[in-house]
């Protein structure tokens, strides 16, 4: 057997690592528990990890009992799955789905290490909108969870192309082994189509200006920072919103900071709109909400976590329609939001909304 050469870790300049690959302690939570706990205590998410959102509220809604059968449609880092497995107390079965082949393998290894075998927990490489096929195979579910957020591991890794904060290939696919990248999508899109995408998927107020700038570019956009730069060019001379203008006053420095804030917010919406488009997220959610009632057993509970208004509207409308038809006996009348304490501990929880339904 050939001896493996020792591979030295990546060194970084300064006191703290800035780039994803340099954060070797955060990326090894089992080995550097104290450092990871310190990052979490500061209200940050360690690199390569994901802090599950609204765990207690979800468990309260789902009211899981030992012996029941459930489905976690979006496994991610596995935080919600582990919490639900604890409630099953070794009795019953939980299935978890995920289309990300990279992160799901890592999560499966962590969950198996905690002693959960095939007899109580199974991972399925599937889109959660295929819930009907799984329900037909295993006999339906007493509880279902769908967390529609993108996992922090995907956001933080620059190789996945989910954020402009680090330069990387403009990919944005939840499953990097299927479909086209965001770069390919932008390569041949028209100004009108891109404007519509930005408006529909992200309520972007400067959709027309950004679409005009991107589609008149003579070279293809290939990286996340290149896309950010195009958004910055598009917004370089637009008038600041009244609230920003009032806050900045006549200070040149404050006006520059306000414009930087404007560019970052629009860039986040542009990335969101592109991600929704290339992963067909709205179509998948519509399909899931349509199939969900048939996959639930009588009295079955469903909880859905959404992260922007477009998702929430789809969930709210579907629950209401099936409730009026008598298919659900009870639905949430108002959204449940994370506590102030949780938002302080985890800044990525701020936009979260939880809705639930119980089948008749």
Q: What is the pLDDT of residues 96-128, one digit of tens each?
A: 999 888 888 888 998 999 999 999 999 999 999
Q: How far apart are CA 327 and CA 18, in angstroms?
A: 51
At the second CATH level, the architecture of 55-152+282-359 is 3-Layer(aba) Sandwich (3.40)
Q: How far apart are CA 44 and CA 348, in angstroms?
A: 9
Q: How far is CA 47 from the centre of its chain?
A: 15
- Return the pLDDT at 24: 46
Please compute the mean of the pLDDT values over residues 277-299 and round it to a whole number.
Answer: 96
- Return the pLDDT at 191: 94
- Return the pLDDT at 97: 93
Q: What is the pLDDT of residues 171-199, one digit of tens each?
A: 999 888 889 999 999 998 999 999 999 99
Is 349 within 8 Å of 57 (Cβ atoms)? no
Question: Considering the chain, what percentage of its residues have pLDDT values greater than 90?
Answer: 59
CB atoms within 10 A of CB 115: 9
Q: Given a cut of 60, is residue 45 above it in pLDDT?
A: no
Q: Given a cut of 70, is residue 348 above it in pLDDT?
A: yes
Q: What is the pLDDT of residues 306-344, one digit of tens each?
A: 988 889 999 999 999 999 999 999 999 999 999 888 888
Q: Rounded to 5 degrees, what are φ and ψ at 234? A: -65, -30
Question: Considering the chain, what percentage of its residues have pLDDT values greater than 70?
Answer: 86
121-124 sheet: strands from edge to edge: 121-124, 93-97, 69-72, 141-147, 296-306, 353-359, 328-331
What ranges do the domains of the chain cover? Answer: 55-152+282-359, 176-278
- Which range in 19-23, 65-69, 241-245, 350-354 is most confidently predicted, on average pLDDT? 65-69
Helix/strand/coil for 81: helix
Cβ partners under 8 Å of residue 270, min gap 6? 198, 202, 204, 210, 227, 231
Q: Could you give the residue ranges of the DSSP H alpha helices within 206-251?
A: 207-215, 224-234, 242-248
Q: What is the pLDDT of residues 217-228, one digit of tens each?
A: 888 999 999 999
Is the entire prediction scored with pTM above 0.85? no
- Lowest mean pLDDT of 21-25, 79-83, 220-224, name the range: 21-25
Mean pLDDT computed over every residue of the chain: 86
Q: How far apart are CA 10 and CA 8, in angstroms?
A: 7
- Return the pLDDT at 102: 83
**Exposed e or buried b for every residue in 160-182, given b needs 16+ CB within 10 A?**
bbbbbbbebbbbbbbebeeeebb
The topology under which CATH files domain 176-278 is: DNA polymerase; domain 1 (1.10.150)
């Amino acid at each position: 057997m050939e001896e493996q050469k020792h591979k030295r870790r990546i060194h970084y300049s300064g006191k703290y690592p800035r780039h994803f690959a340099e954060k070797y302690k955060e990326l090894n939570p089992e080995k550097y528990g104290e450092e990871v706990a310190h990052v979490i205590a500061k209200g940050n998410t360690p690199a390569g990890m994901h802090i599950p959102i609204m765990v207690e509220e979800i468990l309260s809604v789902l009211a899981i009992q030992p012996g029941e059968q459930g489905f976690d449609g979006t496994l991610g880092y596995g935080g919600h799955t582990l919490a639900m497995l604890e409630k099953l107390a070794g009795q019953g079965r939980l299935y978890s789905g995920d289309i990300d082949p990279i992160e799901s393998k890592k999560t499966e290894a962590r969950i198996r290490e905690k002693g959960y075998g095939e007899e109580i927990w199974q991972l399925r490489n599937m889109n959660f909108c295929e819930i009907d096929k799984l329900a037909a195979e295993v006999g339906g579910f007493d509880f279902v969870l769908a967390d529609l957020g993108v996992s922090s591991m995907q956001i933080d890794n620059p190789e996945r192309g989910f954020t402009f904060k680090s330069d990387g290939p403009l990919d944005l696919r939840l499953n990097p082994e299927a479909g086209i990248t965001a770069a390919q999508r932008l390569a041949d899109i028209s100004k009108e189509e891109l404007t519509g995408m930005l408006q529909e998927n992200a309520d972007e107020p400067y959709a027309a200006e950004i679409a005009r700038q991107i589609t008149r570019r003579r070279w293809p956009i290939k990286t996340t920072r290149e896309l950010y730069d195009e958004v910055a060019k598009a917004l370089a001379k637009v008038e600041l919103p009244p609230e920003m203008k009032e806050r900045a006053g006549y200070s040149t420095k404050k006006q520059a900071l306000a414009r930087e804030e404007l560019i970052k917010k629009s860039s986040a919406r542009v990335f969101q709109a592109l991600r929704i488009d290339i992963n067909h997220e709205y179509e998948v959610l519509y399909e899931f909400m349509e199939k969900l009632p048939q996959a639930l057993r009588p009295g079955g509970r469903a909880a859905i976590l959404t992260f922007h208004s477009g998702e929430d509207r789809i969930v709210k409308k579907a629950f209401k329609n099936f409730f009026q038809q008598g298919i659900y006996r009870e639905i949430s009348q108002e959204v449940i939001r994370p506590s102030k304490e949780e938002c302080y501990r985890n800044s990525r929880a701020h936009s979260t909304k939880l809705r639930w339904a119980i089948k008749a």
